[in-house]
A and B are shown apart, each in its own frame.
Chain A
Amino acid sequence: MKVDWNTFWPRILEATGQTITMVIFTLIFGAILGLVIGLLLFVTRKGNILENAFIFSLLNIAINIIRPVPFIIFLVTISPFTRAVIGTTIGTWAAIFPMTIVAAFVIARVVENNLVAVDPGIIEAAKAMGASPVQIIVGVLIMEALGPLILGLTFMTVALIDFSAMAGTVGGGGLGDLAMTYGYQRFDGSVMLVTIVVLIILVQIAQFLGNTVSRKFLRR
C-alpha cells in the first residue's frame, strides 16, 4: 500500500502538535502535583519538620505501587477513572490524565531525593538566621535543589514523549498513534522512519533545553 504524501505531512504536523500538547500539559500538571507530593514526602520523613509516619508511608507505598507498573497496563487499568474524571477514554485529554498521575509520582520521588540530598548544614544555617519552615522550603530547599530538579524534570520529559506514544495507541492521537496506524498496521516503513526521526528530534530538543537551564542552577 502506498502512502499519499500530500495528506501525510499535515498529519505528521498534527500528530507532532498532539504529542507536544500531551507532554507539556502532563509536565505542567505532573510537576505541580509531583512537587506537592514530593515536598509532603520530604517534610513528613522521620526527623523532619512535619514528621508523620502515616502520611509518609501512604505516599511512599503509592509511589512504589505506581512506578513499577508498565505504563500501557496502568493506562488500561485506570481507564474507568479516566472516564469518570475526563468523561471519555479517547482523545488527547484522556491520555493526559493517566500520564499526569504517573508523572506526578515519579516527579515526587525525584523531588524527595533531591531535597534529601541538600546539605542539612545549609538548612540549619537558615534556621539559625530565623527562617520559618515555609521560608526554608521555598527559599532554601527548592533553590538549592533546583539544578538537579530540572535535570530530573528533563528526564521525565523524555520519558513522557515515550509514554505519549503508548497513550496514543489507545486513542490519544499523536506520533505514536500515527506510527502504529500507518507504519505498523499497514507495514509502511517510511512512515515509521519519519515518526521516529521526529520523536528523536523532540527528545534532543527537550534534553538540550533541560541541560542548558539546569546548568544555570547547578552550583556546588
Chain B
Amino acid sequence: MIKFESVSKTFLSQKKAVNAVDNVSLSIAKGEIYGVIGFSGAGKSTLLRLVNLLEKPTSGRVVVNDRDVTSIPSRELRQLRRRIGMIFQTFNLFNSRTVYGNIAYPLKLARIPKDQIKARVAELLSFVGLEDKADQYPEQLSGGQKQRVGIARALATSPDILICDEATSALDPETTGEILKLLKRVNEEYKITILLITHEMHVIRSICDRVAVMENGRVIEEGQVFDIFANPQKQTTRNFISSVQNDKLSPKLLETLKKSHKGRLYRIVFRGGATSEPILSQTARKYNADFNIIYGSINELQGQLFGSLIVEFPERTPQLEPLIHELSQNVEVREVIDHES
C-alpha cells in the first residue's frame, strides 16, 4: 500500500544540511494502522509528508498504490492526493468556510455534482457525529469537534489511505480517546489504511497494529506493537514504553530498594502465554533458590497480558548464573543496574 524504499530527505537550512529522514525503508500493508513514534524533530512529519509528496525525497522511492509518487506528473499527483486523506495536529480547517463548506471543499475540487456533495457531506457528518454543526464556523467548535471535521473532510473523497500528523496531540486525554476510537472506526468500517505519527506511546498502544520508532531521521526499531512492547531493543523505545507502563523505577525508589535489598535485582518480563505459567517459581524451585518480588506491573496489550516484575535473588544464591540462563529461555530477563533498566 505504502512503501518507503531507502528514502532520504535532506533540508538545507542556513547552509547546514539536516537529514530529516535518513535512509528509511518501511512497508505499510493494506488495511492496517501503522504508527511512527519519535521525539520532536525525529523526522516523523517529514516522513509522513513524503507520502503525498508535500515533500520530495532527496533520494529513494516512495511507492503508493504500486505507483512511484516521485515520478508522477503534477496533474496526476493531484488526482493521487484525492486518494490520500490527511489530518493535522492543528486541524487546519478553512476558517472562512462552515463545517459543511470545509467537508464539501475537496468534493468541489473533484467536480462532484452539488446534490451528490450534499448527500456525501450529510453521510460524513453523521459518521463523525456532527449532524447539527453543518452551518457553524470552525471558530465555534471545540478542539475535538474540529478534528472530527478534519477527519470528515479527509474522508470526503473516499480515500484508500489516511495519514495523520499528530492528530490528537492538541487534545485533552478524554477527547484524544474519542478521536482514536473514531480513527479505529475509519479503519474498520471504511477499510482505510492509516499511517499515523505521534510522540505519545499510548496512541500507539490504543490503535496501532505495527509501529516504527524513529530517532534522528532513522527507523531504529520496527515491528508488531505487541512484540515491540514486550521486547524493546533500543533505549529510546524502552523510554517510550515506560512512559505508558509505569513499570520503571524512579531513581529515588531504586536507591531505597537497593539499600533494603542487598541481593541482585532482575527485571523479568512476561508476555502472552508466559503469564499463565508459573515459570519463575518452577525454575527457582529447580535450583533451590529463594526470590523476592519487590516491584511489578501487569498490563493488557492488544488483548494479551503483559507483565513486568523486579525480583531480588539473594547474593549467596549458589547457582544464580544457570538459573538466570534457564529463566531467559522462557521469559525476558535483564539485570537492574540503574533506573533505566
Contact = CB atoms under 8 A, between A and B. Distances in A.
Interface of A: 119, 121-122, 124-132, 135, 139-140, 143-144, 146-147, 217, 219-220
A140 B94 contact: yes
A135 B54 CA distance: 17
A219 B101 CA distance: 14
A144 B96 contact: yes
A119 B138 CA distance: 14
B246 interface: no
A220 B81 contact: no
B79 A125 contact: no
A219 B138 contact: yes
B139 A219 contact: yes
A130 B96 contact: no
| Chain A interface, DSSP helix/strand/loop, else mixed | helix
> Interface centre among B93, B96, B153, by most A CB within 10 Å?
B96
Contact of B54 (A124, A140, A217): A124
B146 interface: no
A129 B153 CA distance: 9
Interface string B80-110: 1110101010101111110000000110011
Contact of B96 (A131, A132, A219): A219
B95 A144 contact: yes
A132 B92 contact: no
B78 interface: yes
A217 B137 CA distance: 11
Contact of B92 (A119, A146, A147): A119
B52 interface: yes
A143 B96 contact: yes
Nearest to A121: B92
A185 B77 CA distance: 69
Nearest to B90: A121
A217 B109 contact: no
Contact of B109 (A119, A130, A143, A146): A130
Contacts of B79: 130
Nearest to B83: A130
A124 B81 CA distance: 12
Nearest to B108: A139
Given A125-B88, A219-B138, A143 B52 contact: no
Contacts of A125: 86, 88, 92-94
A121 B109 contact: no
Given A121-B90, A130-B106, A135-B109, A146 B96 contact: yes
Given A125-B86, A129-B106, A143 B97 contact: yes
Nearest to A220: B95
Contacts of A217: 96
A130 B81 contact: yes
Most central of B80, B82, B94 by chain A CB within 10 Å: B94
A28 B96 CA distance: 24
Given A121-B92, A122-B92, A219-B137, 11 more contacts: A119-B92, A128-B54, A128-B81, A128-B86, A129-B105, A130-B109, A130-B110, A131-B78, A132-B78, A144-B95, A144-B96
Contacts of A220: 95, 139
Interface in B49-89: 52, 54, 77-82, 84, 86, 88
A130 B92 contact: no
B82 A129 contact: yes
A143 B96 CA distance: 6
B96 A128 contact: no
Contacts of B97: 143
A120 to B, nearest CB: 9
Contacts of A132: 78
7 contacts: A119-B92, A121-B92, A124-B54, A124-B88, A129-B153, A144-B95, A219-B138
A134 B71 CA distance: 22
Contacts of A121: 88, 90, 92
Nearest to B137: A219
Q: Which of A124, A129, A130, A217 has the most CB of B within 10 A?
A: A129
Contact of A129 (B77, B95, B109, B138): B109
A179 B79 CA distance: 62
A129 B81 contact: yes
A127 B109 CA distance: 11
B138 to A, nearest CB: 7
Given A121-B88, A121-B90, A124-B54, A139 B105 contact: yes
A51 B19 CA distance: 24
A126 B81 CA distance: 10
A149 B106 CA distance: 25
Contacts of B94: 122, 125-126, 140, 143-144
Which of A121, A128, A135, A139: most chain B Cβ within 10 A?
A128
Q: Which of B79, B106, B138, B157 gathers most chain A CB within 10 Å?
A: B106
A124 B54 CA distance: 8
